[in-house]
Amino acid sequence: MSKKLEGKVAIVIGAAGRDNMGQVIAQRFAREGARVVVAGRSIGELERFAGTIGGAAKACDITRKDEVLALFDFAGNWGGQVDIAVNATGWGLLKGFTDTTEDELDRITELQFKGPFYFFQAAVDTLARGGSIIQISSATATIMLNDHAAYMGTKAGTDHVVRCVAHEYGERGIRANSISPGLTDTPMTAGAKDVPGLFDSFLSGYPLGRIGTKEDIAAAAVFLASDECFMTGQNLQVNGGLTLRRNPTREEIQAAVASAGAGQA
C-alpha cells in the first residue's frame, strides 16, 4: 500500500513537548512517508524526538519572525522543497474575562495570532509548487467556554487569517485549513484530567460519546496534507460532534467535580 505523504517534506511547529499533539502529528506524517522537520522552543526534546522519526529539529520561537524565516530556510536546505506546514503551537490560558492582564493579552496575541501570521507568511513564500498549510485551532473558536476569552478570540482570529490565505493563494495550488479539536487528552490538559469528574463533565456534549485523542487530530492532518484533499479555507471540526452541542457551563463543571470528590471521600 502506498504511503499518503511519500516524498513530501513537512514542518511541524509546536512539537517540543513530549507526546504533545505536534509530536503525534509528526509521527503520523513520518509513518506516511514524509520527511519531517519538528520545531519549537526546547531544542533538547526536539532533537530527541526527531531522532525517533528520522527527522530533523530546529529551535524556533514562532513569535519571532526572523526565527520563523530561518526555520523554513533550514527545512528547505535539509529536505528540499517544503510541501506541508503545520502550526500546532498554543497556550491554554484559562482566566476570567476581567482578570486577564495586559501582559497575558500581549503574550497570547503574540503566540496565537502574530506568530501564526508570520508562519503563514513564510509558508506562502516557500510553498512554490503548492502544498498544504494546517492550523491547529479549537472548537472554542466556535462555541463557548467560560474563562477562555483570550484563547478563544485569538484562535478565531487566526482561523479567519487561514481563510484569507486560502482565498489569496489558492491559484498557486496552496491549500490552507484549520482543524478544531474539542477537549483532547494532551499534555496541555493533563492538569484538568487529573481533577476527578472534570473530563466526565464534558462527555454529554459529544454525540460520538468520547473525548478526542491526539491520534484523531493527526489522522485529519494527514488527509489535509495529502494530494487527495480538494479542500481549502475550511475549519474541520474534529471533535466528535461537540460543536453540534456545547461545552459544559462553569456551574456544571463545578458540580461534576464536587460529585466526583464526594464519591471518592
pLDDT for 265 equals: 58
Instruction: Identify whether 257 is part of a domain.
Output: no
pTM for this predicted structure: 0.95
The domain in which residue 171 lies consists of: 9-188+212-244
Instruction: Identify whether 262 is part of a domain.
Output: no
What residues contact residue 19 under an 8 Å CB cut-off, 6+ apart? 186, 187, 214
Kind and range of the H or E element at 214? helix 214-225
CA pair distance 256, 205, nearest whole angstrom = 14
Kind and range of the H or E element at 250? helix 250-264
| Number of compact structural domains in the chain | 1
Instruction: Identify whether 252 is part of a domain.
Output: no
Compute the mean pLDDT over every residue in the chain, rounded to the nearest whole number. 95
**36 closest CA partner among 45, 24, 44:** 24
Instruction: Identify whether 251 is part of a domain.
Output: no
Q: 215-238, pLDDT tens digit by residue?
A: 999 999 999 999 999 999 999 999
Q: 192-206, pLDDT tens digit by residue?
A: 778 888 889 999 999
Instruction: Identify whether 265 is part of a domain.
Output: no
Instruction: Identify whether 220 is part of a domain.
Output: yes
Residues 16-26, mean pLDDT to the nearest whole number: 97
Residues classed as catalytic: 151
Take residue 161 and report the three cell numbers written for it.
487569517
Min mean pLDDT across 6-10, 164-168, 199-203 is at 199-203
Instruction: Identify whether 261 is part of a domain.
Output: no
Q: 40-91, pLDDT tens digit by residue?
A: 999 999 999 999 999 999 999 999 999 999 999 999 999 999 999 999 999 9
Residue 225 sits in a domain of what CATH number? 3.40.50.720
What are the residue ranges of helices labelled H in 39-137?
Answer: 43-53, 65-79, 102-109, 115-126
Q: Is 190 left (phi over 0), alpha (psi -120 to 50) or beta?
A: alpha
* N-to-C CA span, the chain: 53
Instruction: Identify whether 179 is part of a domain.
Output: yes
